[in-house]
Structure 1
Amino acid sequence: MNTKRWIAVIAAVVLLGVSIVINSAFAIFQSGFGTGLDEWVAPTEGELAETVIEPGDMNKRIAVLNVEGAIQDTGEAASFFGTTGYNHDLFMEQLEKIKEDDTVKAVMLKVNSPGGGVVESAEIYDKITEIQAETQKPFYVSMGATAASGGYYISAPAEKIYVNEETTTGSIGVIMQLMNYDGLAEKYGVDFVTIKSGPYKDIGSPTRDMTEEEQKILQDMLNQSYESFVDVIEEGRGMTEAEVKAVADGRIMNGRQAVEANLADDFGFEEDVLAALRADFDLGDAEAFEYGASEGLGSLFSMKVKSMFKPDLESEMIAKLLTDYSAPRMMYLYGEN
């Protein structure tokens, strides 16, 4: 490895460490910073911050939830090489709060996501259906530019789904991508020694080719998750298995095609969806709010560092490997990880 690569690796490791420390510190104070403080409601201990979008009756309110980015519980602090993105623990906390808060009468779920983990998507779906069953609170979905795969999975149980004509949605299916750098290692004279307790202990290893039996094992797993996805759409959209599978081959579609396929109900932007919720459930004078404060100093500092360093492509690839690597797993995901 040449000097330039060593410098890139060391810089990435140092920035990752500093990022974790700084973001952890800012997490404590973040709720006190940002714009719109006049509309921000300071939380007491154990409560979420709230920002009023449209003032109204505080005894009957509409909660607006945001799913932005890949639905993935990384368990890692945000790095200076990227923004904070989707926070799974925080989103699940918001859903639990909605379930417990009797003043919340309806929910608008804004989805702009290519999907994500099978487990995380299922966890969100289960929580939404639990809220619907136990509290009768309706969910309307407002799809943004992209609401595909896992983004559609979590939208399926909603009473109504609204799209833009150019929304990218669909991509119904499961994917698992594995890396194989055996050829590259052989080229550079790298040898891997694996000691394992059983024949399948290193299934999916990037150091060798996969056997047909191993492929079958993984394919069976994916098929089961796929059937679960189909079941979710059948129940949520009132479609037959045949109707769902006719479009559940991984294809993406725009909003117009989604409405034609009964995967969405109507066209509309966020304001249209909010207005529809008010009209359909007698919530004309209800307050509309969302959880969370504006971006804190941690995010602003992260953006500043990014603009200062402007790493080259090689450095970015090394940083991504250091900060984003995770073992291969099944995903309800459209596009790249």
Structure 2
Amino acid sequence: MNPKRWTALVIALVLFVVSIGVNSVIYALKSSATATADQIIEEQSSSVPTKVMEPGNAKEKIAYLQVDGTIQKVDTGAFAVGYNHKNFLAQLDAVKKDKTIKGVVLYVNSPGGGVIESAEIRKKLIEMKEARDIPVYVTMGAMAASGGYYISAPADKIFAMQETITGSIGVIMQTINYQELAKKIGVRYENFQSGEHKDMLSPMRQVTPEERAMMQEMINESYETFVDIIEEGRGMKEADVKKVADGRIMSGTQAIKAGLVDEIADRDQVIEAMRKDFDLADAQVIEYQDPSTNWRSLLGLKTADFFGPSLEERFMMKMLTNHNTPQMMYLYGDN
């Protein structure tokens, strides 16, 4: 074999080996792309970065936390927008462990959300307060309704803007029925079940009176829990709570008259009030951040996006998986 043929054969062999290596790497990346994105979100949520909002004594800190958006456990980390439930619970744990934090200002700007998620926040908030024996002030934004008020109730003081929409004390569960539409377009639902009520709230049939009574009993139970929490947190009588616990919304000034809010103030005034009330004039104010917005998270997610399903595809898969059944909500409005 002449030298040219040998050279061509060697080049072909090298290209073949390189091709196998590249394809193996791409296959491995593709097979783990979705898991990689989820791991990045998981890892980022478990660490809680902070930034200094107002300089001061680092041995005496006021922690500024935010609940901004619908209180619901959804995988929003891939889009870095909206409320991050896992990260917020991690923030409460971080405050509980940090002995330098002497007070918490909690900003609530939310229409509420899931019954379970709201209860998780309240539980963590109370655990943190009791473990550290530190004050918690709530400052309400444009809206702190339903579940937004539920998580505010344990605070030592609640502040709102005059224009804040709050209240909406109650529980809601919604489902859709498209039985008639299915008939019109020729779609029939075949169902196999073990019990009479296994398909309760199916969108392909009417709810029976018995099932409606069952659901109402569940709603009433969660409603009474909500009322009890306000009684405990605000030191109010049950009758006084129930006067306004009919789902109505109210302004900040109306909420003061109802006993649900203490004072009208904005965020800066609330921080200043905590400084004054607890001798924290020189305290440093720190803000906890959502780590899913940092460069490492975004770079990792973009890599996963290149080799695997797109961010939009992953988001839609999560939404279809997690939100295809009715849920009880402490929620105001159509969110």
Q: Give the TM interval when normalised to the shorter protein.
A: 0.7 to 0.9
Q: 1:132 to 1:79 in 2, by over 3 A?
A: closer
Instruction: Find the counterpart in structure 1 of residue 223 from structure 2.
Output: 226
Instruction: Kindly indicate whether the alpha-carbon contact (under 8 Å) linking 2:49 and 2:288 is maintained by their aligned counterparts in 1.
Output: yes
Find the partner of 2:189 among 182, 187, 192: 192
Q: 1:136 to 1:272 in 2, by over 3 A?
A: same
Distance between the aligned counterparts of 1:119 and 1:267, measured in 2?
A: 29
Matched, 1:271 2:285: no
Instruction: Find the counterpart in structure 1 of residue 72 from structure 2.
Output: 72
Distance between the aligned counterparts of 2:220 and 2:282, measured in 1?
A: 47
Instruction: Kindly indicate whether the alpha-carbon contact (under 8 Å) linking 1:51 and 1:291 is maintained by their aligned counterparts in 2.
Output: yes
Q: Is the helix fraction higher in 1 or 2? A: 2
Q: How many angstroms does 1:129 deviate by? A: 1.4
Instruction: Find the counterpart in structure 2 of residue 332 from structure 1.
Output: 330
Instruction: Find the counterpart in structure 2 of residue 177 from structure 1.
Output: 174
The 5 A counterparts of 1:239-318 are: 239-292=236-289, 295-296=293-294
Q: Secondary structure at the match of 2:230?
A: helix
Q: 1:320 to 1:101 in 2, by over 3 A?
A: closer
- Once the two structures are superposed, what CA deviation does each residue of 1:97-140 show, in whole Å capped at 9, x if it has no partner? 11111111100000000000001101111111122223211100
Find the partner of 2:84 among 66, 84, 87: 87
Taking structure 2 as the reference length, what is the TM-score of the superposition? 0.79
Instruction: Kindly indicate whether the alpha-carbon contact (under 8 Å) linking 2:52 and 2:287 is maintained by their aligned counterparts in 1.
Output: yes
Instruction: Kindly indicate whether the alpha-carbon contact (under 8 Å) linking 2:174 and 2:327 is maintained by their aligned counterparts in 1.
Output: yes
Q: 1:21 to 1:115 in 2, by over 3 A?
A: same
Matched, 1:135 2:138: no
Instruction: Find the counterpart in structure 1 of residue 59 from structure 2.
Output: 59
- Once the two structures are superposed, what CA deviation does each residue of 1:162-212 show, in whole Å capped at 9, x if it has no partner? 100000000000000011111110110100011111011111111110000
Instruction: Find the counterpart in structure 2 of residue 9 from structure 1.
Output: none
Question: Aligned partner of 1:334: which letter?
Answer: Y
Instruction: Find the counterpart in structure 2 of residue 116 from structure 1.
Output: 113
Instruction: Kindly indicate whether the alpha-carbon contact (under 8 Å) linking 1:20 and 1:78 is maintained by their aligned counterparts in 2.
Output: no
Q: 1:226 to 1:251 in 2, by over 3 A?
A: same
Q: Secondary structure at the match of 2:144?
A: strand
- Once the two structures are superposed, what CA deviation does each residue of 1:80-111 show, in whole Å capped at 9, x if it has no partner? 6xx52111111111101111111111000000
Instruction: Find the counterpart in structure 1 of residue 49 from structure 2.
Output: 49
Q: 1:320 to 1:131 in 2, by over 3 A?
A: closer
Q: 1:123 to 1:29 in 2, by over 3 A?
A: closer
Taking structure 1 as the reference length, what is the TM-score of the superposition? 0.79
Q: 1:77 to 1:238 in 2, by over 3 A?
A: closer
Instruction: Find the counterpart in structure 1 of residue 7 from structure 2.
Output: none
Q: Secondary structure at the match of 2:221?
A: helix
| Root mean square deviation of aligned Cα | 2.8
Question: Aligned partner of 1:64: which letter?
Answer: Y
Identity of aligned residues (%): 51
Distance between the aligned counterparts of 2:286 and 2:211, measured in 1?
A: 49
Q: Secondary structure at the match of 1:246?
A: helix
Instruction: Kindly indicate whether the alpha-carbon contact (under 8 Å) linking 2:178 and 2:204 is maintained by their aligned counterparts in 1.
Output: yes
Distance between the aligned counterparts of 1:196 and 1:213, measured in 2?
A: 18
Q: 1:321 to 1:54 in 2, by over 3 A?
A: closer
Task: Give the gaps of 5 or more residues in structure 1.
Answer: 1-18, 32-45, 303-317
Q: Secondary structure at the match of 1:146?
A: strand
Matched, 1:100 2:97: yes
- Once the two structures are superposed, what CA deviation does each residue of 1:223-265 show, in whole Å capped at 9, x if it has no partner? 0000000000001111000000000000001111011111000
Q: Secondary structure at the match of 2:244?
A: coil
Q: Secondary structure at the match of 2:103?
A: strand
Instruction: Kindly indicate whether the alpha-carbon contact (under 8 Å) linking 1:51 and 1:293 is maintained by their aligned counterparts in 2.
Output: no
Find the partner of 1:146 among 134, 143, 147: 143
Distance between the aligned counterparts of 2:94 and 2:63, measured in 1?
A: 10
Distance between the aligned counterparts of 1:154 and 1:292, measured in 2?
A: 19
Q: How many angstroms does 1:323 deviate by? A: 7.9
Question: Aligned partner of 2:159: which letter?
Answer: Y
How many pairs does the alignment contain? Answer: 291
Matched, 1:215 2:212: yes
Distance between the aligned counterparts of 1:293 and 1:127, measured in 2?
A: 18
Q: 1:27 to 1:193 in 2, by over 3 A?
A: closer
Q: Name which one, 1 or 2, has greater alpha-carbon Rg.
A: 2
